[in-house]
Structure formats: structure tokens, C-alpha cells
Structure 1
């Protein structure tokens, strides 16, 4: 006798649980961002010299800064390539 009310209660709970699964919430795509270190501004040394030797030193500083910035861009390109291989990409 007692099993019929329990069975009815379980059936009611099952119906409520199934109707809650009838509509899935919309899936939100994940936004993947590159590492924050790649967004640091590039250093731009200022020329403060007055001689040819100062110009050579300045050109070496510029070359060093360009290598750092080019390395960041290369890492961004590599990150983009790897991110495009992951499932759920935003393109």
C-alpha cells in the first residue's frame, strides 16, 4: 500500500526534473585572449646624442627594441595559430 504513494511521488519528481531539462540555456562561446605580456607597449628609445658615436649607440638601442617587439608579434601570431586549432574558436 505504501509503495503507490512513493511511486506517485517519484513519478512527479521525475516529470519535474525532465521538464527542467527541456530547454537548454544558450551556450556562450569562450573568449580566449592571448597572454597579457604580449600587450605591453614597445619601448621607443629617444635619441639624446650629438655625435656619430651616439647615433651608432642609438641605432643599436633601436635594433634591440625592434627585436623585442617583433618577438611579441611572433608570439601573438603563434598564439593565434594555436587558438584556431582549438575547438569552439571564434572566427
Structure 2
């Protein structure tokens, strides 16, 4: 059967057009990759600093007992730094 014998030439055009569109649109189905970018918000520099850690040098219980005030002072200062940071963070979370 040749094209001249077809009595509906518009059907041939429609089929060709649809096939062409299908081929063109099939190139648009490529997969896209999802990129996740994680951003960390850090506290300002200087707000959280390393704690002072005094070393115990006493060899006897009596010598070690003399160092307890230094340990208490270091622990108190470190706890104050942590409290300051937690208060700063709470203010930011509350929107103040």
C-alpha cells in the first residue's frame, strides 16, 4: 500500500507528528539529582572556649586535698561558660 492510495492524508500527518513529539519528549525524562546542602550555625567565636583543667600533682591524700579549691574554681568557671552559652542559645531560639 502506497501513500497515494490512502484516502486520509491528515491521519498520516497526525501519526508522524505524534511519533515525532514522543521522540522529542522522551529526551525530557532524564532523572534529576537532589542535592542537600547542610548548613551549621555555630555560636560566635569566643563564646565557647576550652575550660581550664588544672593537673593534680599531689601524691598523698593531704597534698591532693590542697588542690581541691583549684579544681572547684576551674569547674565553676567552666560551668559559668556553659551557662552563658545555654542562655545565649535560649535567647536566639525564643527570638529575642
TM-score by length of 1: 0.51
Q: Provide the C-alpha distance between the structure 1 equivalents of 2:69 and 2:47, rounded to a whole number of angstroms.
A: 23
Q: 1:20-43 CA distances to partner (integer Å, 9 max, x unpaired)?
A: xxxxxxxxxxx7643423321111
Please give the residue correspondences for 1:39-50 in structure 2 after superposition, counting only pairs within 5 Å: 39-50=48-59
Shift in alpha-carbon separation, 1:57–1:38, aligned structure 2, 3 A: farther
Q: 1:52-76 CA distances to partner (integer Å, 9 max, x unpaired)?
A: 4421221111100100110011011
How many residues are paired up? Answer: 57
Q: Which has the larger Rg?
A: 2
Q: Check whether the contact 2:53–2:74 (CA below 8 A) recurs between aligned residues.
A: yes
1:68 to 68, 72, 77: 77
Query: Structure 1: any 5+ residue segments left out of the alignment?
Result: 1-30
Question: Higher relative CO (CA 8 A, sep ≥ 6), structure 1 or 2?
Answer: 1
Query: Structure 2: any 5+ residue segments left out of the alignment?
Result: 1-39
